[in-house]
Amino acid sequence: MNTKKIRLTGAQLSFSVGAIQENKSKILDTLEEAEKIQSDVVIFPELSITGYPPEDLLLRESFIGKNFAVLEEIAAYSGSSSAIIGFVDRSLNEDSTDNFDRKISNAAAIVQNGDVKGIYHKCFLPNYSVFDEARYFAKGNNPADLFWYDDIAIGINICEDIWIDNGPADRQVASGASIIININASPFDINKIDSRRNQVMEKAKKLNVPIIYLNMVGGQDELVFDGGSFVVDSSGKIIYQASQFKEEVFTLDLEVQIKDIISDSKLTLNTKTEELPNLISQETFNELESMYEALKLGVSDYVRKNNFQKILVGLSGGIDSALTATIAVDALSPENVIGIAMPSKYNPDSSLDDAQQLADNLGIEFKVIPIEETVESLRTLLKDSLEEPLADVTDENIQSRIRGNIIMGLSNQLGAMVLSTGNKSEMAVGYSTLYGDLAGGFALLKDVYKTEVYKLAEFRNKESKVIPLNSITKEPSAELRDDQFDSDSLPDYELLDKILKMYIESDYSSEKIIASGIENNIVYDVLEKVDKNEYKRKQVAPGVKLTERAFGKDRRMPITNTYIRERYS
């Protein structure tokens, strides 16, 4: 079997949505370095020119035009090192599934020596979970296209294409490809990392060719792209694993098979004058490490890309606000985080002490703003206007909403973004206050169940004990009335989260959840709370997606929902 060496550079970089000129600069800088080491192919992520997902920016002609102009500039700059670059192309495909004419495609351009040498259009468009690609793009209709570098054929495909049985990768290998390059903007969730690797390893083994899986990295609104690119040889073995959750440019040489096929090659390989140092694979993270890193990257990019410098966190002395502030400090550094305690008469001194200790441990600025006088004024105002006593929930929400007003006022004055501190369990059942504790620009723990909040806090404390032990061990309470505890309104969080995961993540029916051994009245009460609080969740700020069914783009339920669940005793 005749083989030839091909030198590949993977550019696992962060490309911001809409930052077309900035993205161009990153690509050009990387190409310049690749030329120095005679790289044959430099691989950039899916839609690296526009960033991913550009959403309805794709409906603007000016945006598409700038994307074209930048591709031409990159092509004109290119030298002997070719590049595979994700961009938006025009489409001539007239096939349509509805009455909307899609004139663009999710594409990869191959540039070398001053010109665009080839283009591949993504053939399989994901339209599930957070993906809406069929809203914008026309499908590619040439899944077997090959790109010849001298006598080496490369199959290039994009993200979803690699997962399809007998899809583009299979067709390309059948046509003579000796290597497959798959470019991605694949968002993180806790179940995806191992699944990606296992599926690509099986695909490489089945097709008997190496596969390069190149993923984007960085935060974009609710999504986090975790990088974790890797290279698999023809036996299905991972020969290089790139970093997770950070940028990395790596280069390696691969021996690939020369096929006995005559081609009209438009692309060329470089003559290599120097050997490369051996690459050492990066360590991969376990589930808790991955969640923590995703939260850090998600909040840091959201704050930075939206032009904030500092953030505010309301510190109650509880576990949720403690974890939120700790992640924020790890992501953005202590000088950019301000903790705000807003005690009322229902907050014991121990809670303020816990908040103060956390702030001291983290080294952040800490402000204490007592609210009882303001709360009493509003209590009186409402009672006088209604001429009747206030209901308990009304009184409790007054406190929460005054805190929301104070922290948002500080946000306006200081130009700092507020991080709300609620978790997924609370948001699921509505154990939160609109315009109160839900107020903020980013809901960091939006996709973190309460039981996972504890696990993440303990995980972080293994590095250094920054979160006070009392915040972790004390019984959780909203502290909005005397002797109030979460358990007064909710099942134990272990049980609650078990029900929520079955209902939200797996779409189990009430009957199926009850059949798992949980008391039927508890199940019905929890599910009714979830259903009737959709209106609250729709008004919650964006937050980092960690699971397969995050609230927001993943789980799209109607607010007005008159479906009646029958109860069976």
Where does residue 479 fall: left (phi above 0), alpha (psi -120 to 50 degrees), or beta otherwise? left
Question: Can you tell me whether residue 243 is helix, strand or coil?
Answer: coil
Instruction: Single out the catalytic residue among 24, 26, 46, 545.
Output: 46
Residue 195: Cβ-neighbour burial (10 angstroms; 0-12, 13-18, 19+)? exposed
Catalytic site includes residue 46:
yes
Integer CA distances (angstroms), 392 to 170, 346, 395, in order: 64, 13, 5
Instruction: Single out the catalytic residue among 159, 203, 446, 479.
Output: 159
Integer CA distances (angstroms), 394 to 389, 408, 528, 549, in order: 10, 21, 21, 32
Helices (H) then strands (E): counts for the chain: 17, 19
Beta-strand relationship, 41-43 and 417-420: unpaired
Catalytic site includes residue 246:
no
Phi, then psi, of 346 in degrees rounded to 5: -90, -5
Structure tokens at 270: 């470089």
Distance of alpha carbon 428 from alpha carbon 414, whole angstroms:
32
Rounded CA Rg of the chain = 27
HEC profile of 153-219: EEEEEEHHHHHCCCCHHHHHHHCCCCEEEEEECCECCCCHHHHHHHHHHHHHHHHCCCEEEEECEEE
Catalytic site includes residue 122:
yes
CB 231, CB 239: distance < 8 Å: yes
Distance of alpha carbon 143 from alpha carbon 165, whole angstroms:
12
Instruction: Single out the catalytic residue among 26, 117, 122, 536.
Output: 122
Distance of alpha carbon 347 from alpha carbon 374, whole angstroms:
15
Integer CA distances (angstroms), 457 to 99, 290, 472, in order: 51, 14, 8
What's the longest Cα–Cα distance across the chain?
A: 92
Please name the residue ranges forming H helices in 333-391.
349-362, 372-386
Please identify every residue annotated as catalytic: 46, 122, 159
